[in-house]
């Protein structure tokens, strides 16, 4: 390192000040004043991007006009786990409304080649012990996860209660009936005593508002609607119909990292348009070891998930049982951070963690240069931000793809994205790249209004909408329910304990809601809702314990983790505010709450 590195950093081997400045520059050139408005809502002339390629067109059915005890919105893991846990609790009159043509949610829609879970599958796939199934590999591919969804649905009889290809359009509370009146895009009217919303955090694809999109005369699709009729092949590749095609992939987030190797291997030519590089770490997938499988004791999955949650919350554990990409990052960071604190008593924890982060990201950047042969391409693929500014990715095929002669990386960071689309191609740096097909790997809406993402408004007691009620920020008891919205439960990200292993979090939440519904019934109440006081206390608890991460996220390159750079504006749009002590602590708190058996904070009517 240069001679100007301050004394206290002299043994690091890098200059933190120089890195801070580099991170600042990389962020500044990408910040767009429009924030989330740089994306267009997929409606009207763009609505074909949402067409479901996995169902036969023309499905029709008679509208429903009936009553159910519990209506669940969403047939992904959240909705399926809710239904499964409700049934186990003896709640059987259930209906599930799902926009896709089958169960699976994320894993129904995202069938792009290479789609894979990036949390270890033994932790990620739910109900493994209950269903007696063990994934084939440490990281499962989409077909296995989708099959597992179908296995859950079969086991718990969920096909009998599912309404597929149906979207809720309105939820309104009827005080006289003490029912939610649920309207759908198939003209159904369903009266439901309880409603559980499990719509998922990344359910609505988004498109950048690139001028000229609608003028493109070639083929276009979003990765969550992969068009195998056009590309040929399946999730394992063999995209043989691309052999004579020039393809543009726009975006380099987690989806592109997994799918680009397949496009690159099969298309005549591939242009990957990158605005911000991902952090791409090792994957190291491996088949499940039968001896290890034999050795598993009852209760192993819960213990494994709790161990995972502890490691990624920064809690000390004796052994990192899971040892996957995520836990490795956390172990590395906390080992480096604590070593620094031990060696430098004057250093503060925040700085120690920042230095550990620099070290981790230096490894990630070095990995790029060790794999990608062309120096300029390698430099362009290096991420300059802190590890958790964006979702870390893990893949062993993405970087080598850029050593192929038929693949080009096009850097669009200087213009904050692709400049325009013409009838025949994509324009970047004033150069038109002629292509036959554009694949949008541009992700999902996160920071937009809840109603825009869900497609419906919720109107509770006295005609008050949830949008209005939360206009100054989310208010819930334990993240599940809000005052004035009786018998309505959220399963997903709200004001609760967050785990990056979403499925474990969803399962625990489903069990908690099952308990509440069962108790409301057992106590002969028509409905329950949190008291204003309990809700205020919970919101205060969440905010009192919250770690102030505004400065961290403001220093990040923009993306959905930091509300496209508008960090302070993100509260209240159902992005959630996590319970800082972590999901294991949250689950303990809920377990105690249930044990007290008094439904504290819930008002029964
Ligand atoms: P992301 O939001 O992560 O990425 C979208 C990409 O599109 C970014 O690279 C973004 O650049 C780019 N982009 C947007 N607008 C433009 C533009 N105008 N010009 C050029 N590029 C543009 O979406 P993904 O679908 O990749 O991932 C979404 C999430 O889905 C992940 O974060 C993860 O949570 C989940 N996922 C999980 C996987 C798993 O393994 N479990 C696999 C895949 C996805 P920029 O970064 O500059 O905004």
Identify the residue whose C-alpha is closest to ligand 1 atom 41. 117
Confidence (pLDDT) at 570:
64
- Determine if ligand 1 sits within 6 Å of the CB of residue 276: yes
Nearest one of 78, 15, 55 to 164, comparing CA atoms: 55
**Does ligand 1 lie within 6 Å of residue 441's CB atom?**
yes
Burial of 222 (0-12, 13-18, 19+ CB in 10 A): buried
Q: Which has the closest alpha carbon to 22: 369, 348, 353, 382?
A: 382
Q: 256-283, pLDDT tens digit by residue?
A: 999 999 999 999 999 999 999 999 999 9
Taking the C-alpha atoms of residue 207 and residue 38, their distance in angstroms, rounded to an integer, is 9
CA nearest to 500, candidates 282, 305, 336 = 305
Best of 443, 502, 576 for a ligand 1 pocket test (most atoms within 8 Å of beta carbon): 443
CB-based contacts of 258: which residues, under 8 Å, 6+ apart?
Answer: 112, 113, 114, 115, 116, 393, 395, 398
Long-range contacts of 153-160 (CB under 8 A, 24+ apart): 153/75, 153/80, 153/103, 155/84, 155/127, 155/130, 155/131, 156/80, 156/83, 156/84, 156/87, 157/87, 158/75, 158/80, 158/83, 158/84, 158/96, 158/103
294 Cα: distance to centroid of ligand 1 (angstroms): 38
CB of 443 closer than 6 A to ligand 1? Answer: yes
Q: Cα of 36 to ligand 1 centre, how many Å?
A: 14
**Residues 311, 46: Cα–Cα separation, whole Å:** 42
Secondary structure letter of residue 265 according to DSSP: H
Q: With a 6 A CB cut-off, is 153 part of the ligand 1 pocket?
A: no
pLDDT score of 429: 93
Q: Does the beta carbon of 427 sit less than 6 angstroms from any atom of ligand 1?
A: no
Q: Please say whether the beta carbons of 329 and 387 come within 8 A.
A: yes
Establish whether residue 273 lines the binding site of ligand 1, counting it when its CB lies within 6 angstroms of any ligand atom.
Answer: yes
Q: For residue 179, what is the enclosing H or E element?
A: strand 179-184
Which residues of the chain fall short of a pLDDT of 70?
Answer: 1-3, 341, 344-347, 570-576
Rounded CA-CA distance 118/285 in Å is 10
Residue 572 is predicted with a pLDDT of 45
Q: Are 120 and 128 in contact (CB under 8 A)?
A: no
Distance of CA 236 to the CA centre of its chain: 23
Instruction: Write down the pLDDT at residue 571.
Output: 56
- Distance of CA 86 from the midpoint of ligand 1 (Å): 34
Cβ of residue 253 lying under 6 Å from some atom of ligand 1: yes
- Considering only the C-alpha atoms of the chain, give the largest distance between any 2 of them, rounded to a whole number of Å: 77
Q: Evaluate: CB of 258 within 6 angstroms of ligand 1.
A: yes
Pair 526, 180: CB distance under 8 Å: no
Give me the residue label for tokens 């499962």. Answer: 140
Q: Best of 37, 209, 255 to mutate for ligand 1, by most ligand atoms within 8 A of CB?
A: 255
What is the per-residue pLDDT across 334-370, written as a single tens digit (0 to 9) for each?
887 777 767 766 667 888 889 999 999 999 999 999 9
Whole-number Å distance between alpha carbons of 125 and 252: 26
How many C-beta atoms surround the C-beta of residue 38 within 10 A?
Answer: 16
The predicted model scores a pTM of 0.95
Residues 232, 37: Cα–Cα separation, whole Å? 34
Check if 250 has its Cβ closer than 6 Å to any atom of ligand 1: yes
- Within 10 angstroms of residue 174's Cβ, the number of other Cβ atoms is 11
Task: Check residue 328 and give left, alpha or beta (phi > 0: left; psi -120 to 50: alpha).
Answer: alpha
- CA 278 to ligand 1 center in whole angstroms: 9
Domains of the chain: 66-204+446-604 (3.50.50.60)
Among 67, 87, 130, CA closest to 517: 87
Whole-number pLDDT of residue 488: 98
Could you tell me if the CB of 213 is within 6 A of ligand 1? no
Q: Are 395 and 280 in contact (CB under 8 A)?
A: yes
- pLDDT score at 346: 63
Distance (angstroms) between ligand 1 centre and the Cα of 559 equals 8
């Amino acid at each position: 390192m240069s001679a100007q590195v301050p004394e206290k950093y002299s043994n690091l081997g890098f200059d933190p000040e120089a890195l801070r400045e580099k991170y600042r520059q990389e962020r500044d050139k990408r910040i767009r004043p429009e924030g989330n408005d740089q994306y267009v809502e997929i409606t009207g002339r763009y609505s074909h991007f949402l067409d479901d390629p996995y169902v036969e067109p023309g499905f029709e059915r008679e509208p429903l006009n009936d009553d159910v005890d519990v209506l669940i919105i969403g047939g992904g893991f959240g909705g399926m786990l809710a239904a499964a846990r409700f049934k186990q609790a003896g709640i059987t009159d259930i209906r599930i409304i799902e926009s896709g043509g089958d169960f699976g949610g994320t894993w129904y829609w995202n069938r792009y080649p290479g789609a894979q879970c990036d949390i270890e599958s033994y932790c990620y796939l739910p109900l493994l012990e209950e269903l007696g199934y063990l994934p084939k590999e440490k990281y499962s591919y989409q077909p296995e996860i989708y099959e597992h969804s179908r296995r859950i649905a079969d086991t718990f009889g969920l096909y009998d209660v599912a309404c597929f290809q149906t979207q809720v359009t309105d939820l309104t509370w009827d005080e006289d009936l003490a029912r939610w009146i649920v309207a759908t895009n198939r003209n159904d009217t369903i009266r439901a005593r309880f409603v559980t919303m499990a719509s998922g955090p990344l359910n609505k694809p988004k498109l950048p508002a690139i001028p000229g999109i609608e003028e493109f005369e070639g083929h276009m699709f979003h990765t969550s609607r992969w068009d195998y009729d056009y590309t040929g092949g399946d999730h394992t590749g063999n995209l043989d119909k691309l052999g004579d095609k020039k393809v543009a992939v726009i975006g380099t987030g987690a989806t592109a990292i997994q799918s680009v190797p397949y496009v690159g291997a099969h298309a005549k030519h591939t242009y990957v348009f990158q605005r911000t590089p991902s952090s791409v770490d090792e994957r190291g997938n491996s088949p499940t070891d039968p001896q290890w499988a034999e050795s598993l004791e009852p209760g192993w999955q819960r213990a494994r998930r709790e161990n995972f949650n502890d490691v990624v919350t920064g809690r000390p554990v004796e052994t990192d049982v899971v040892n996957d990409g995520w836990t490795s990052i956390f172990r590395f960071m906390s080992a480096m951070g604590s070593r620094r604190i031990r060696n430098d008593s004057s250093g503060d924890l925040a700085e120690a963690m920042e230095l550990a982060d620099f070290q981790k990201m230096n490894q990630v950047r070095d990995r790029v240069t060790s794999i990608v042969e062309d120096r300029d391409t390698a430099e362009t693929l290096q991420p300059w931000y802190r590890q958790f500014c964006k979702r870390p990715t893990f893949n062993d095929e993405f970087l080598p793809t850029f050593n192929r002669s038929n693949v080009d990386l096009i850097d669009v960071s200087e213009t904050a994205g692709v400049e325009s689309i013409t009838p025949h191609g994509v324009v970047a740096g004033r150069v038109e790249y002629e292509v036959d097909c554009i694949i949008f790997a541009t992700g999902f809406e996160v920071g937009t209004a809840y109603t825009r993402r869900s497609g419906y408004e919720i109107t509770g007691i006295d005609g008050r909408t949830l949008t209005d009620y939360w206009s100054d920020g989310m208010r819930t008891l334990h993240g599940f329910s809000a005052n004035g919205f009786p018998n309505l439960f959220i399963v997903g990200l709200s004001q609760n304990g967050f785990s990056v292993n979403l499925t474990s979090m969803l399962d625990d939440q489903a069990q908690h809601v099952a308990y509440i519904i069962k108790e409301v019934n057992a106590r002969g109440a028509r409905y329950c809702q949190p008291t204003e006081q309990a809700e205020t206390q919970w919101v205060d608890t969440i905010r009192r314990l919250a770690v102030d991460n505004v400065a961290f996220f403001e220093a990040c390159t923009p993306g959905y983790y930091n509300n496209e750079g508008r960090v302070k504006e993100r509260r209240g749009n159902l992005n959630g505010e996590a319970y800082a002590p972590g999901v294991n602590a949250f689950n303990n708190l809920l377990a105690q709450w249930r044990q007290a058996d008094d439904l504290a904070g819930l008002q029964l009517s």
